[in-house]
Amino acid sequence: MKKIMTVAIFSIAAFHANGNDLPTVNLGLTSFLDGGLPAGPGWYGSIYLQNYSANKMMDQNGDKIPLPKSEVDYQVMLAQLSYLSEVKVGKAALGMNFILPWLADIDVDDGLNNQAIKAQNGLGDLLVGPFIQFDPIMGENGPKFIHRIEFQVNIPTGDYDRKKDINPSNNAFSLDPYWAATYWFNPKWTASTRIHYLYNFKNDKPTYSFGEVSNIKAGQAIHANFATEYAFTPQLRLGINGYWLKQITDTQVDGHDVNGRREQVWAIGPGMMYSFSKEDHIFTNAYFEQDAENRPQGSRIQFRYVHHFH
């Protein structure tokens, strides 16, 4: 038993040493008809509820780390305020997004009474993003294409404890600009994507797992959501949705690149959108992760409600 525990503790330490550095980003939060706001100018409010469950911790080779247990479960609730103005720049309008500090309930079980993996609950970070919403390109039977560019900034306002391995906040600023677009194959069938480029700044209070170091800087990454759906009725749309994440540069510790920490994962699953009216919509999306490296691999269920204020 002592030998098994020693191997397990070493494996968890190896997991810490090999990744899971990136901040929380938009993996599957948005899906269908993502290229434009559904009801024109004005204020929008959105509520997100997400449940994530994983029982695998994957190493840098995509193999499961042999722990007694490797369970990660969390529930996240966040609120978003969006404003699309009537201020026009050519064929585009200016707007602003705010994702308010979100609430996370995180539960982990390493099979060792959480001697090696520790997590805390609390509020996440504030996200702010000015955006440009381009006018739709129209066809004979309605819109054909619409897109948006946003310069999103993640501000470390949330709860962070360097004695914990998993925190709601990443304790570092990051830039996560994106391009979102929707294309109509016909009036009932669309495809959408949102492509982000993530750039992280330094965290000057790294978690204890890094040892006695002054700072860490998570690597850069590209992540994207994608979806396609079909309107079976004017209210109901059904389709498939997914996401993809790839870290493209090494994490730096005290200014030096550290190999073997890059993260990746992709996921796919079914989705649904129901429109109660032009002003109110609900989205339900499920995702099943594949080919994870240096991070947990599991599944998530996402609920999102959007309301346009008159």
Give the CA distances from residue 84 to residues 37, 134, 171, in Å, rounded to whole numbers and listed in that order. Answer: 8, 11, 30
Tens-place pLDDT, residues 66-77:
878 788 899 999
pLDDT: which is higher, 216 or 68: 216
pLDDT reading at 18 higher than 60? no
Tens-place pLDDT, residues 232-277:
999 999 999 999 999 999 999 999 999 999 999 999 999 999 999 9
Residue 115 confidence class, pLDDT cut points 50, 70, 90 = low
Share of residues in the chain with pLDDT > 70 (%): 93
Residue 14 confidence class, pLDDT cut points 50, 70, 90 = very low
Tens-place pLDDT, residues 141-179:
999 999 999 999 999 999 999 988 888 999 999 999 999
Tens-place pLDDT, residues 23-61:
999 999 999 999 999 888 999 999 999 999 999 989 999
Residue 140 confidence class, pLDDT cut points 50, 70, 90 = very high
Is the pTM of the predicted complex or chain greater than 0.95? no
pLDDT: which is higher, 7 or 189: 189
pLDDT reading at 17 higher than 50? no
**Whole-number average pLDDT of the chain:** 90
Superfamily of domain 2-308: monomeric porin ompg (2.40.160.40)
